[in-house]
Amino acid sequence: MIGAAGTLRAWAGVHATRPALVLFAVTAALCLLCARAMIDSVGFLLFETPVSLLLLLPVIAGIATGIGSHNTARVPLPEPGRLTPARIAWLLALTGLACLSVSIGQMAGPDLPWQPAVRNVLLHTALAITAARVLGPTLAWLPPVALTLICMLFGYPPSEPGYYWWAMIMEEAVTPNQWAITAAFFLAACVLYTAAPKLTGHIGRFSRQAIPTGVTPTQQKSPLP
């Protein structure tokens, strides 16, 4: 009988765990080294106020979670419903590592508290997971990076302090409304992540929607040699 450690190794083996862990380590190192770093421009564009790098680095951790949630198994078999708790636990574990990696910078005593970084991690994680399920894991980085660039370049009113509400990842304070929006996006991404195998699962060489009429799943020829 396979123990808990063996089950964990097997689960990690069929997911993109190694690149996710590498990105988590990179995030933690950058957060620790750049905890007090601020940027006030991107190229020729100047910000109204300097932005802490701790607000921007969570994009890496969010992408790492999206990548790590991808099942790299080559055989397109359906996943039984009993694996849903395991999928949820795996996603929450990755998200916890992401939150931990961006909170490492607190050891350096930055002026920015941990809450904005965790908020940003959850938002980027939701976007990366959704992109990985809809666009594929190779494009999991696209929505988080696009959101970050759009907020950096267009998220603030001209010649006025502050940011638009949709550019919350640039805000150094977290409001209850921002927590609510973040939680809603993250929960929606979790539902998509856990429901995706049931919606896109395959049996043999046929998708669930493409099984010929009158042929049961057990009658399909296995794709394995």
**For range 129-140, the mean pLDDT:** 88
Contact 121, 99 (CB under 8 A): yes
| 5 against 45, higher pLDDT | 45
The pTM score is 0.80
Which tokens go with 176? Answer: 């209850």
Helix 142-154 to helix 58-68 angle, to the nearest 10 degrees?
160
Contact 45, 119 (CB under 8 A): no
Reduced to 3 states, what is the DSSP secondary structure of residue 143? helix
**For range 80-103, the mean pLDDT:** 85
Over 70: is that where the pLDDT of 60 sits?
yes
Contact 35, 54 (CB under 8 A): yes
The pLDDT score that the predictor gives to residue 215 is 46
